[in-house]
Chains A and B, each alone.
Chain A
């Protein structure tokens, strides 16, 4: 931002020029140094010594589940650097606009920055155009951003988000998964990303039922996170000691809602109670079994 305003304090000419509704495109021309994509890293491992050295915080489990009124997304809270727990209460599920959210897997620092830029991108478009961006449009913008990070991904600093939201045009919850090159694919019913995703996916396959309500879906998401945390060292379970619960977001036609901790606590306690003496859990938790 070395040329954010000239000597007179008036708005720079670039601000008054007609142009794109994309924040990223505007900033790339006006002040590229604030964008994350401008950086390149030297080849080789990150410097440092001691446990966890040379590794940026990463690893995660994010689950997203479509339900009758929209979509639920939940993520654990652990950030690891090698064998070390770098942070116990990191947030990995973010509201990205009124009707969408994204969960991040991969290198935490870069992922959080990407989501921050994505949030501004959506909001900027909405304000300039006076209309909401379509669900497809949002999913594609995120693709472009992941592609922009490909150079760093090739050096081991990958970011793979999971995008979910309520498509106002289609009138339903939708989930979009990505690969490291920005390739996107629509996922049906449910999807998971991160190091614990294989375990969470197994749980979802057994617990998911079409047409579940919000409470049932939140419960299923927490069960799946539990299974991921049970088998993946880089995924944190609910921290009963410190009262750190997973971050759970619900998106419906009415918008995004973060499920408050007070509401989550009894559900987490029910999950834990259900596992006591029975680590595999009860497959009947959605209450829909015949």
Chain B
């Protein structure tokens, strides 16, 4: 009888983490930026059907990078979680914190018990009545949660993009300013850095943009497309 290889738990976890990180870094980035009127989500995504940014509930949205089938699975579970909870209790009982906890437990369990971890990184954001009460949770492949303030970038070139956001973000930005910052940050990725000519431009039809709009009642999630998006991206607008 052959003796099975011994792999230390430490090595096993490290290998899984490296594997997941590599998968995530391959995809395009998503940025989440808080502004005066809500929370803006933006990603470079030419697909009109395969979304990286979605509505979960009245004031809660979801953004993800990584493997589509894996985060889509989590997204659907999140919508079911929110709708079952909102229907059984009340709409105000659905919170980003509750959902982030459930995701964290789920991702953590998958990371430790299954041979292949999920190659995903997700953000669960809830827009508050005031910018101070906004909640943004970032979850990684192993189930760790971070409570973020102001902005988040994840996916490919996340470090370069985060650096740009850190330099330029300030509280109280207008929706249009936050969106322009988000797009500029998305364009400040490794490819732009290698070319050494500042951020590369991204056309409006290559963007997937949505906002959790604080000023709206009930369902606050709204996709920005077409002329509305072009208008917001125009510095004169």
Contacts and interface: CB of A to CB of B under 8 A. Distances in A.
Interface string A224-267: 00000000000000000000000000000000000000000000
Interface string A1-40: 1001100111100011010000100110011001000000
A89 interface: no
A49 interface: no
A17 B151 CA distance: 32
With most chain B CB atoms within 10 A of its CB, the pick from A4, A34, A127 is: A127
Nearest to A23: B83
A127 B56 contact: yes
Contacts of A1: 84, 88
Interface in B58-115: 73-74, 76-81, 83-88, 101-103, 105-106, 108-109
B102 A23 contact: no
A120 interface: yes
Contacts of B49: 130
Q: Is the interface of A mostly helix, strand, loop or mixed?
A: helix
B51 interface: yes
A34 B83 CA distance: 12
Nearest to A14: B80
B9 to A, nearest CB: 20
Contacts of B108: 10
B55 interface: yes
B54 interface: yes
Contacts of B74: 16
A9 B76 contact: no
A188 interface: no
Interface residues on B, range: 20 to 34
B87 A5 contact: no
A116 B109 CA distance: 34
A26 B80 CA distance: 8
Contacts of B101: 9
Nearest 6 pairs of A and B residues by beta carbon? A10-B105, A15-B77, A10-B106, A9-B105, A11-B106, A11-B77
A3 to B, nearest CB: 11
B86 A120 contact: yes
Contacts of B76: 15-16, 18, 128
Contacts of A26: 80, 84
Contacts of A23: 83, 87
B105 A8 contact: yes
A183 B81 CA distance: 32
A84 B74 CA distance: 50
Contacts of A123: 83, 219
B121 to A, nearest CB: 17
Contact of B79 (A18, A117, A124): A124
Nearest to A34: B88
Given A16-B77, A130-B49, A11 B103 contact: yes
Interface in A117-142: 117, 120, 123-124, 127-128, 130
A16 B86 CA distance: 18
A64 B108 CA distance: 52
Given A10-B102, A130-B49, A116 B84 contact: no
A23 B84 CA distance: 8
A93 to B, nearest CB: 16
Interface string B155-195: 00000000000000000000000000000000000000000
Interface in B182-236: 219
